[in-house]
Amino acid sequence: MDMNAYQQAALRTAAPKDKQNEVFHLLLGLVGETGEIAEKAKKIVRDRDSDFAQWDREDLAKELGDTLWYVAVLADHFELPLDDIAELNIKKLADRQARGAIGGRGDNR
């Protein structure tokens, strides 16, 4: 699925942009969904000797999808097309790789 098409589809189930506190809702939702992924990963570490091959892939896909929904809607809130975000991110990482700066510190390395 095209990323901008996904973003537009996600918006069909989003609250209106001008709803009071909508940015807070989206930010907290994004953190909450990533937290759900972290919580499930923690249980694999705790209960399954960190064997991530045992991670329920269908459940992981659902949680990643929930996270993607919040990313898409939050991006739209600031009029950022998802395609543009993806392209910018890949360019940034390719540039870092070309300069041998994938590892290390700092957002703008």
Which tokens hold the place of 57? Answer: 């892939």
Compute the least distance from the CB of residue 51 to Mg ion, in Å: 22
Residue with Cβ nearer Mg ion (66 or 83): 66
* List of residues contacting Mg ion (CB under 5 A): 33, 36, 63, 66
Round to whole Å and give the CA distance between 73 and 84: 14
Residue with Cβ nearer Mg ion (68 or 80): 68
Residue with Cβ nearer Mg ion (40 or 77): 40
Round to whole Å and give the CA distance between 31 and 27: 6
Compute the least distance from the CB of residue 33 to Mg ion, in Å: 5
With beta carbons less than 8 A apart as the criterion, state whether 19 and 95 touch. no
Indicate the residue whose CB is closest to Mg ion: 66
Round to whole Å and give the CA distance between 30 and 71: 7
Compute the least distance from the CB of residue 44 to Mg ion, in Å: 17
